[in-house]
Amino acid sequence: MTTPENETRFPYQDASLPVEQRVEDLLARMELADKAGMLFHTMVGYGDPGEGNSAFGIPSAESMVRKRRMTHFNLLGAAPDGREFAAWHNALQRVALDTGLGIPITFSTDPRHAFSDNPLTSMMAGPFSQWPETLGFAALGSPDRLERFADIARQEYLAVGLRVALHPQIDLATEPRWSRISGTFGEDADLTSRLVVGYIRGLQGEELGTESVAAMVKHFPGGGPQLDGEDPHFSWGREQVYPGGAQEYHLQPFIAAIDAGATQMMPYYGMPVGTDWEEVGFGFNTGVLTDLLRDRLGFEGIVCTDWGLLTDVQIFGADMPARAWGIEHLSRPERMLKAIDAGVDQFGGELCTEVLIDLVREGRVAEERIDASVRRLLREKFRMGLFDSPFVDEDHAEAIVGRADFVEEGLATQSDSLTLLTNTDGILPLQRGIRVYAEGVAPEALAAWATAVETPEEAGVAVLRVKAPYEERDRGGFSALFHSGSLEFPAEEHARLTAIAETVPTVLDVYLDRPAVLGGLEESARAVLVDYGARDEAVLAVLFGDRGPQGALPFDLPRSDAAVIASRSDVAFDTENPTFRFGHGLRY
């Protein structure tokens, strides 16, 4: 279906026709297998389209396109540069266009412009420009500045053929121990609601079109209030609780996203406990997806589940049960049927197309119900122009991805998002050339600003870059990648940092991927600042006064683990007597 002479053999190939007419024409030509393939959206690895990914148990992209007729893929990994990225995209797109009806692939991606490196939730920036995590944009608090970032991300994604962003994540960080906070805009619903509008506008424009990247907003109806801060990727974290009855608070950003034109929505894994909703995962929950999202909030777009709700798999050599919380006892076909009945359009991380085909042939799912979801998915492909311009320009991709001005703007934003908590006796900014004992700072970066020394005793100041505390856990598979548990520094590390601060005036920079309990370090150190993903160069520019910190805390910093345990997981700003409040941030 790729030669010029047959590009407009059928009405759905005619770009001059209305989208709805093209959708109906193509839908009428699709076999059941074509329709079933549309409802699955799984991972594909960068590399040879004929090879699979053994770490995730994924077959080759080519086999999924040809045999399962799948046309939606979430990309794992990245090419080393824009040109190779674009060439890979075009090669796989040719496979799709040479298959059956020639339905082009929609490629999606988790966030890949920041610092997180958990392949289940985000990617390192790689060849793209690098910016702070979304918490950093929350610290800046500017929808316009976030829109600028999202527009640059859109340009880089578009250049290599990534057309769906599996973000923004607009859960609220009301449970400080939750391991997914780094991808959020923090604790405040009003701030998150303002920011998500800028984010969606930057990705999609005023409306979804040929220059847009569609935003798949997550995780409906708000994934923050997890019991004990555990994450529902895992069976021990499946319960989502509302001891403060604050469901409506967590809905506010999603209402703003829908009003801003979000076209896709992802429910989270969590199973609500103690509410009026059925105690099953949100992806199986009719009360949440149909009654709330569709009927009450009026969402008409695509609902795609989070990854892996149906099938038990192995990841990194470890067993990974399906996240079928509350219905673990059901068979895979029964789980699928419940999700479809709840209102799901697409199954993330799944490729069991044969199960859906059997359900339709057995009369357990009406083909008209499948058609309703396929219409939504086709409509999006047509609106984004994938049928009319399926390939990307490799020269353009080389020029756009990681463009120098994008990189510089990202670095400046890293600096600006830094949040200064204390600055005793005005120790900051530091004097150039000062003798510095540094930890967590690359020597070559420090050399441009100061003289490095080997011990605190030799130094005029210590600069210590550390990460927010978490409990070292490894329950198998990828559980160790999720930072969970205590927010307090281990006693030995706390004592070590305090000893340095007692030896030499100390500047402490803490990378916050979730809140931290400083435990008195804010008094021992002469200055404490926090970052949300920043290169050494970005931090040093602030420490030595080339740029000033502009950030404000996007959440409270709790006083202790005990205060967190005593708080209500769904209620914002509920820990007693926090060390620093939301919105705190000094300037100089």
Rounded to an integer, what distance in angstroms lies between the CA atom of residue 485 and that of residue 587? 32
Q: Which residue has the tokens 């030799």?
A: 458
User: Could you give phi then psi for residue 190, rounded to 5 degrees?
Assistant: -65, -45
Specify the DSSP element, H or E, that contains 529.
strand 527-531
| 356-380: b (≥16 Cβ within 10 Å) or e | bbebbeeeebeeeebeebbbbbbbb
Looking at the DSSP assignment, which residues form a beta bridge with residue 226? 240
Rounded to an integer, what distance in angstroms lies between the CA atom of residue 316 and that of residue 9? 46
**Burial environment of residue 325 by CB neighbours within 10 A (0 to 12, 13 to 18, 19 or more):** buried
**Burial environment of residue 11 by CB neighbours within 10 A (0 to 12, 13 to 18, 19 or more):** middle
In the numeric block, which tokens belong to residue 168? 């923004």
Selection from 488, 500, 431 nearest residue 464 by Cα: 500
**Quick check: helix, strand or coil at residue 108?**
strand
Rounded to an integer, what distance in angstroms lies between the CA atom of residue 24 and that of residue 32? 15
Selection from 114, 133, 228, 257 nearest residue 185 by Cα: 133
Q: Which residue has the tokens 């990617």?
A: 123
Catalytic residues: 306
What angle, 0 to 180 degrees and rounded to 10, lies between the N-to-C axes of helices 143-160 and 82-97?
60
* Cross-sheet strand order for the sheet of 461-467: 419-423, 527-531, 506-511, 461-467, 435-439, 451-452
DSSP state of 173: -
299 neighbors 265 (Cβ within 8 angstroms): yes
Rounded to an integer, what distance in angstroms lies between the CA atom of residue 555 and that of residue 346? 33
215 neighbors 134 (Cβ within 8 angstroms): no
DSSP state of 510: E
